[in-house]
Structure 1
Amino acid sequence: MNDHNNALTPESFGISVPDRIETPVGSFDFFDGVPFPETTRNLYDGLDFLRGVEAFLNAMPGASLVAMRKGFRSVGIDGLHMLAYTDPRANSGGFFLTPNTETTYGSMFIDLRDGPVVIEPPKESLCVVDDFWFRYVADMGIAGPDKGAGGKYLFLPPGYEGDEPDGYFVYRPPTYTNWVVFRALGGVEAMRQTRVYRLADAQNPPDLTFVNIADKKFNTVHANDFSFFEEVAELVDEEPADSLDPERAGQLAAIGIQHGRKFAPDERLRGILDSAAKTAAGMSRALVYSPRNPDSFVFEGSSWKEAFVGGSYEFLDRNARLLDARAQFHYFATVITPAMAHAQVGAGSAYAYTAEDSAGRILDGGKTYRLVLPPNPPAKNFWSVDVYDTQTRSLLQTDNPYPSLMSLSGTVEAEDDGSIVLWFGPAAPAGKEANWIQTVRNKSWFPILRLYGPLEPWFDKTWQPSELERIDIPRA
């Protein structure tokens, strides 16, 4: 005889579903665990929405480089024979994710479909190669195996079975398309010593065409709506199916983005993915401007945040991928290299940013703020502060195309005690023009503090910038 008082029940083991559940993506009705037809349709809409959100957050690195290449192509820069550079330095004219205004940059895409490519970077340079999914491939120059003395780097296409010639630093990226960033410490003249050519042309390399993009107006930032998924589909279609890990490839395949398959969502899925992209973009902005991971903050009790959380260029911690950290970084920054993720005393660069004032309020371009850098900023080379637009994560467009201040300028004034007070606002406070960066009314903004060659006081946290203090200045 059954003892109903002691009978096993699904509820007692948590293996059942109630007849109705309320969730952030909708309310769902069941009959004894079986979804009703309308609920089934709604659940699949919810699943597609969640897949779209995850695909946005996890495929963002690749979409970023597709948008970068599209931007270059929009101003006629395409192919192995053209290198874009900024002369004298980057400015706020175009949309780029958080560039600095202090150095001359060079950038290009190399395509390995037509065979191996050789790069000869300038001497005393800092150069990086990332694959088309924005994963680290190589450092060249000071952080690379040539140690800044110059050398020849050979990049072989996926599946290459030919001989590897002697005399090269050899790399095998998993994607055909790769992004190259050059930073020559000798400026434009040194940048022009760069050489890029096919291995097949090594005996008589063609000249490289250098195109100044400093004053060109174009966009390199990925989309925040449905077209984001079209950017990703372009990448997936071009590159080998095994160039992306199966987990992320599976997320994309679940919404119709798969190598060898045309991406053609119907009206229902298209609308869902548009909403997913906009939602995921909002989540990305929360990760950037208001991260919840305690490791995101540079100093205890401070709003200054890390760009690379965890100190790993692969965003790994104890064999776990730091998904939020990866999304946070790629939503507002570019370039993946160990040299950026883990700065050394006296070498590389250290970064910190904030998007709020000392009271935790969002920075308002119509208000005036004060930032104090204590005496002796711990930078072996120099320090800088650049200001960015919170919408585009690009340099803030103001009357000055270089919305920044830096120690190398020679114009920044120090206080009697050696501290440096910087000012931000729509107009300079009287007598503070040399230490002022303009902001824009009815817009938000955020600063990035960079230390080039950070010193021990940065790492042991005995030196730290103040919070941004809002100052109410009476109108004249």
Structure 2
Amino acid sequence: MTKTALAAWALICAATPVFAQTDIANEIRDISTPNEFKTTIGTLQFNQGRPTPKTVVQVYDQLDFIRGVEVFLNAMPGASMVAMRRGQRSMGAADNTFVVFEQYLDSKTLFLTGATDSIYASSFLDLSKGPVVLEYPPRAIGVLDDMWSRHIADFGDKGPDKGKGGKFLIVPPGYKGKLPSGYHLARSRTNGVWAIMLGLGAGSGDQSAGVMQILQSLKVYPLAAADNPPAVDVINASGNVANLVQSNGFSFFEDIASLVQEDPADVLDPELTGQLAAIGIVKDKPFAPDERMKRILTEAAAIGSASARTMFFKPRDPAATLYPDSAWTTPLVGGSTFLRNGVRLFDARTAYHYGHAVVAPSLMTTAPGAGMQFAVAAMDANGDWLDGGKLYRLQLPANVPAKESWSITLYDPQTRSLLQTEALQPSLSSLNEKLKPAADGSYELWFGPKAPTGKEDSFLRTAPGKGWFAILRLRGPTKPWFDKTWRPGEFEAMK
């Protein structure tokens, strides 16, 4: 080998370890932790990668807090159902008893964004002792959801009976007994089931005929009593002062803990079950957090509620904004499963359950002429929150795209329930005979503390010092809604 070649080889051998050493040093830095660094939860300290006692406390406090927030957001469908059931029980309605709003829902009852232009009939069914039969009248629109707001079945117009009325046999999880024929079968993953009928007696004024139809045709009883079914208990809930809305505080977690005890351990997927277990909610074990954990979960509920409110009133998914430069948003992002291309839309699911109750593909469909669509507005045309002390005008162009009816209803942003003013049912509807369109078919609607002269029939009162938001509902929405060739106006603040 020549001297030149030897010299070159020596340079290569000398240089190679340096390059390797430099490369591995960068990698070691990348996978290592500094001895001290500042974060939003304070300064964290490590001894050659091992946490100091103070850092151990900081990290686990933060982890428990994060998991508490996750549970608040992800378990909201269950907490909402528990609150709904507790509210009905406070009215005197035991399980398998129907609560009927004979004179329509009003603002005395706190109920998530309920409508005022049709009669609700609602019951929580108890399957813990075996299957339950639900008999229902013709032309009903009804939904069965489990206690985690998961859709089970539709009945009535959108169900297998096609509006003729019929019988559903609702079967609890893990049931092995023989099932008779002659029923529409529905299998629930939970021992509790919410049955709600909507659209009964839709209209305005006296709807006693629709209520009598419910009373005469509705039955709920155990399968074991099918040969001699008892009469159903029905409670008129109109005017009841009751709360059917989930908690924003520590009791939220207590409600979830009680719900978990009602059903088999596998009623939820392992991910959510793991989140619950991480904060001490486990099947067949008491939920007994110490003072430290109570403090952490109380703050987690506060941040969870703040997050849910933000998702509901100011969604950041572009799909939730209906039109450019508009305050109108839709909570129906991802449909009844809150999925897009196989991806779960967590914010959409949280926002929906924070402000709404019923989950059903038939009601949330995008097929023209079917189901229901609704839009939410909490801001005016200038981007300011709607203020109960100001006067606003809203214009709806002619040919509102609703095959059956449309309505606009006002709600309290705190409770997400009907706005409480001297008007118990703060809603304007196409079913209202006094509400007349202009000569061109459009509608001019007014909102504020005092009606403009001559506008009383197209006016809804608000309360000074109290904010509000509105929901525009379209029953049987038609093609112009979906292709957006028709759009509502914005709320204009009047000077």
Q: Same fold (TM over 0.5)?
A: yes
Is the contact made by 2:421 and 2:461 (CA closer than 8 Å) also made in structure 1?
A: yes
* Structure-2 separation of matches of 1:385 and 1:59: 30
Picking from 28, 35, 60, the partner of 1:19 is 35
State whether structure 2 residue 123 is matched by structure 1 residue 129. Answer: no
Is the contact made by 2:132 and 2:171 (CA closer than 8 Å) also made in structure 1?
A: yes
* Structure-2 separation of matches of 1:183 and 1:468: 29
State whether structure 2 residue 418 is matched by structure 1 residue 395. Answer: yes
Picking from 443, 447, 450, the partner of 1:427 is 450
Picking from 428, 439, 452, the partner of 2:462 is 439
Which secondary structure does the structure 2 equivalent of 1:238 belong to?
A: coil
Matching residue's letter, 1:263: F
Instruction: Give 2:72's aligned residue.
Output: 56
Shift of 1:12: 6.4
Matching residue's letter, 2:241: K
Which secondary structure does the structure 1 equivalent of 2:110 belong to?
A: coil
State whether structure 2 residue 243 is matched by structure 1 residue 227. Answer: no
Picking from 77, 82, 95, the partner of 2:93 is 77
Shift of 1:355: 0.8
* Structure-2 separation of matches of 1:275 and 1:10: 40
Matching residue's letter, 1:427: K
State whether structure 2 residue 195 is matched by structure 1 residue 180. Answer: yes
Residues 151-196 of structure 1, C-alpha deviations (whole Å, 9 max, x = no match): 1110111111111211111111110011110125342122222111
Picking from 283, 299, 304, the partner of 1:280 is 304
Shift of 1:88: 1.9
| Residue 21 to residue 188, structure 1, CA distance change in 2 (3 Å) | farther
Is the contact made by 2:100 and 2:119 (CA closer than 8 Å) also made in structure 1?
A: yes
Instruction: Give 1:159's aligned residue.
Output: 174
* Structure-1 separation of matches of 2:219 and 2:247: 33
| Residue 26 to residue 372, structure 1, CA distance change in 2 (3 Å) | farther
Bigger drift between 260-269 and 295-304 goes to: 295-304
State whether structure 2 residue 233 is matched by structure 1 residue 209. Answer: yes
* Structure-2 separation of matches of 1:134 and 1:10: 50
Residues 333-366 of structure 1, C-alpha deviations (whole Å, 9 max, x = no match): 0011001221421221111011111111111111
Which secondary structure does the structure 2 equivalent of 1:340 belong to?
A: coil
* Structure-1 separation of matches of 2:449 and 2:43: 47
Q: Superposition RMSD on alpha carbons, in Å?
A: 1.5
Which secondary structure does the structure 2 equivalent of 1:409 belong to?
A: coil
Bigger drift between 336-345 and 49-58 goes to: 336-345
Residues 371-398 of structure 1, C-alpha deviations (whole Å, 9 max, x = no match): 1100111111111000000000000000
Is the contact made by 1:315 and 1:322 (CA closer than 8 Å) also made in structure 2?
A: yes
Residues 282-315 of structure 1, C-alpha deviations (whole Å, 9 max, x = no match): 00000000010001112233221112112x2111
Shift of 1:446: 0.4
Which secondary structure does the structure 1 equivalent of 2:109 belong to?
A: coil
* Structure-1 separation of matches of 2:69 and 2:34: 26
Instruction: Give 2:264's aligned residue.
Output: 240
* Structure-2 separation of matches of 1:290 and 1:24: 25
Is the contact made by 1:183 and 1:191 (CA closer than 8 Å) also made in structure 2?
A: no
* Structure-2 separation of matches of 1:342 and 1:13: 53
Instruction: Give 2:104's aligned residue.
Output: 89
Q: TM-score, normalised by structure 2?
A: 0.92
Q: Which runs of 5+ in 1 are unaligned?
A: none
Q: TM-score, normalised by structure 1?
A: 0.96
Matching residue's letter, 2:25: T
Shift of 1:13: 6.9
Is the contact made by 1:121 and 1:182 (CA closer than 8 Å) also made in structure 2?
A: no
Matching residue's letter, 1:20: E
Shift of 1:58: 0.1
Is the contact made by 2:132 and 2:220 (CA closer than 8 Å) also made in structure 1?
A: yes
Is the contact made by 1:123 and 1:149 (CA closer than 8 Å) also made in structure 2?
A: yes
Which secondary structure does the structure 2 equivalent of 1:261 belong to?
A: coil
Instruction: Kindly report which structure 2 residues correspond to 1:183-194, keeping only aligned pairs within 5 A, or say none.
Output: 183-186=198-201, 187-192=210-215, 193-194=217-218
| Residue 340 to residue 113, structure 1, CA distance change in 2 (3 Å) | same
Matching residue's letter, 1:79: D
Matching residue's letter, 2:470: P
| Residue 439 to residue 350, structure 1, CA distance change in 2 (3 Å) | same
* Structure-1 separation of matches of 2:156 and 2:41: 50
Instruction: Kindly report which structure 2 residues correspond to 1:272-421, keeping only aligned pairs within 5 A, or say none.
Output: 272-310=296-334, 312-421=335-444
* Structure-2 separation of matches of 1:30 and 1:10: 20
Residues 85-123 of structure 1, C-alpha deviations (whole Å, 9 max, x = no match): 101211111111000000000001001111110111211
